[in-house]
């Protein structure tokens, strides 16, 4: 009798050792697969094979956290539940930190399983596993549950690392995109501002973030004509920068071959529509000045109206059309024409100048801007731009919430 008991004990020990060896081999295979950056579906398939064949787990539901909710990435055995109901049932046990017996549980879905195994990181649930139809001896239950928990935890950590790696790549891609956008935009901003016997230009560009949507340009067309433009594209980032780069190229191409501003603006609108499919728009002010006739022709396409100052008076340049990129064909174009007196100042700006976040119950309105131009219109362009920024920071005491671009011309 003692001999039979001894043989039985040795057989049980051998069986346990073989089982442990099998478990270690399984973990080794999974670890090797993870080190080879095996895809998520293959890792899940390996998990299912191990649970089915080595541990005889007849029913499994494996849920992982994704974007603030849970998704079931593995399910076999039994009747398949509604995914939403399954997730809701598991989340009832969100505070459970260790394997839990589910037999007789009040929840009808959970009661169909034997065990609930949670996986957390710093109190944040990362995954849940439901185990059912699990036929194992009483002495082996604790060992088998520990192994299942270890195995799934290795896979959960691998999946979490994959997610973190993807997020890091996405972050790096975003930073690189922003760097490219900054490079593109820097190429759009004139490196040197023009000054000759007819005109002196001063500009200030203050992006709210690394990359803004503002743009300005100056083009000397011939010996007696020049053109300038200030614009603001909706949106930010590389797509906005690329749109503006295309816009600049198109503007320069058409402005040098087409005399009529209305035709240039119509062409630009069609280009914006074609490139954006109506998903972005551009506000723009474009003007052409003839030194011989002292005539300024302009079109304001939904942009903040520039201010023309001369002899103590200021005039807003409002005439024009709608924003570019909104309509397939512009519904109207009203081209403005004014005579420019000697030593006139033309102040162009983007809407960031007026979108200041105010403090101390102060206000910054269009009327105040016009008054400021009248009081300071005698300054040279660079000094004028700096003075208005000092006024905003020291008198208005506001905080910029958008890109600010100032383009000021003194026409002699």
pLDDT score for 184: 63
Following DSSP, what letter does each residue of 317-385 receive, concatenated?
---EE--BTSSSS-S----EEEEPPTTEEEEEE-GGGT--B--TT----HHHHHHHHHHHTTS-HHHHH
By percentage, how much of the chain surpasses pLDDT 90?
53
How does DSSP classify residue 110?
A: G
pLDDT score for 346: 98
Between 344 and 141, name the one with better pLDDT: 344
Between 22 and 246, name the one with better pLDDT: 246
> What's the average model confidence in pLDDT over 251-279?
92
386-389: long-range contacts at Cβ-Cβ below 8 A with a sequence spacing of 24 or more?
A: 386/204, 388/353, 389/204, 389/206
CA distance 342 to 315: 15
By percentage, how much of the chain surpasses pLDDT 70?
85
| Tokens 């609930």 belong to residue | 116
**What tens digit of pLDDT does each residue of 129-169 get?**
999 998 776 666 778 888 888 999 999 989 888 888 888 88
Sign (positive or negative) of CA dihedral 53, 56, 61, 64? negative
pLDDT score for 33: 87
CA distance 345 to 307: 8
How does DSSP classify residue 79?
A: P
**What tens digit of pLDDT does each residue of 279-334 get?**
889 999 999 999 999 999 999 999 999 999 999 999 999 999 999 999 999 999 99
CA distance to 46, 119, 183, 212, 380, per residue, from 43 (Å):
5, 17, 42, 44, 69
Band of residue 26 on the pLDDT scale cut at 50, 70, 90: confident
Domains of the chain: 2-167 (3.30.450.40), 189-411 (3.60.40.10)
Band of residue 13 on the pLDDT scale cut at 50, 70, 90: low
Closest of 59, 115, 107 to residue 87, by C-alpha = 107
Band of residue 16 on the pLDDT scale cut at 50, 70, 90: low
The pLDDT mean for the chain works out to 86
Pairing type for strands 124-134 and 199-206 reads unpaired
> What's the average model confidence in pLDDT over 92-118?
92
The reported pTM is 0.61
Of the given ranges (5-19, 51-65, 196-210), which has the lowest mean pLDDT?
5-19
Band of residue 185 on the pLDDT scale cut at 50, 70, 90: low
């Amino acid at each position: 009798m003692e001999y039979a008991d001894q043989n039985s004990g040795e057989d049980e020990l051998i069986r346990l050792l073989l089982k442990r060896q099998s478990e270690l081999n399984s973990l080794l295979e999974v670890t090797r697969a993870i080190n080879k950056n095996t895809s998520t579906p293959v890792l899940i398939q390996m998990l299912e094979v191990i649970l089915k064949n080595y541990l005889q787990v007849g029913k499994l539901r494996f849920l992982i956290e994704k974007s603030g909710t849970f998704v079931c990435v593995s399910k076999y055995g039994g009747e398949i539940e509604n995914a939403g109901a399954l997730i809701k049932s598991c989340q009832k046990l969100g505070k459970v930190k260790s394997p839990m017996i589910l037999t007789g549980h009040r929840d009808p879905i959970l009661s169909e399983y034997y065990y609930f195994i949670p996986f957390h990181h710093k109190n944040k649930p990362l995954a849940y596993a439901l185990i059912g139809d699990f036929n194992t001896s009483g002495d082996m239950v604790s060992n088998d549950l520990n192994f299942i928990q270890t195995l799934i935890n290795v896979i959960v950590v691998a999946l979490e690392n994959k997610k973190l790696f993807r997020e890091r790549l996405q972050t790096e891609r975003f930073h690189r995109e922003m760097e490219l956008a900054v490079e593109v935009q820097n190429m759009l901003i004139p490196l040197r501002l023009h000054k000759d016997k007819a005109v002196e230009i001063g500009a200030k560009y203050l992006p709210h973030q690394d990359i803004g949507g503002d743009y300005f340009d100056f083009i000397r067309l011939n010996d007696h004509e020049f053109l300038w433009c200030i614009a603001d594209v909706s949106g930010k980032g590389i797509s906005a920068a690329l749109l503006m780069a295309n816009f600049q190229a198109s503007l320069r191409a058409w402005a040098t071959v087409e005399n009529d501003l209305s035709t240039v603006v119509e062409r630009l609108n069609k280009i914006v529509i074609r490139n954006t499919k109506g998903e972005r728009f551009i506000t723009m002010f474009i003007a052409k000045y003839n030194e011989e006739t002292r005539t300024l022709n302009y079109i304001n396409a939904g942009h903040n109206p520039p201010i023309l100052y001369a002899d103590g008076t200021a005039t807003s340049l409002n005439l024009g059309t709608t924003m570019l990129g909104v309509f397939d064909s512009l519904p109207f174009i009203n081209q403005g024409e004014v005579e420019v007196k000697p030593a006139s100042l033309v102040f162009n700006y983007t809407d960031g100048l007026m979108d200041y976040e105010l403090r101390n119950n102060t206000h910054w309105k269009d009327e105040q801007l016009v008054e400021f131009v009248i009081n300071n219109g005698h300054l040279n362009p660079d000094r004028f731009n700096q003075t208005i920024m000092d006024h905003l920071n020291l008198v208005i005491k506001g905080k910029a919430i958008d890109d600010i671009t100032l383009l000021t011309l003194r026409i002699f």
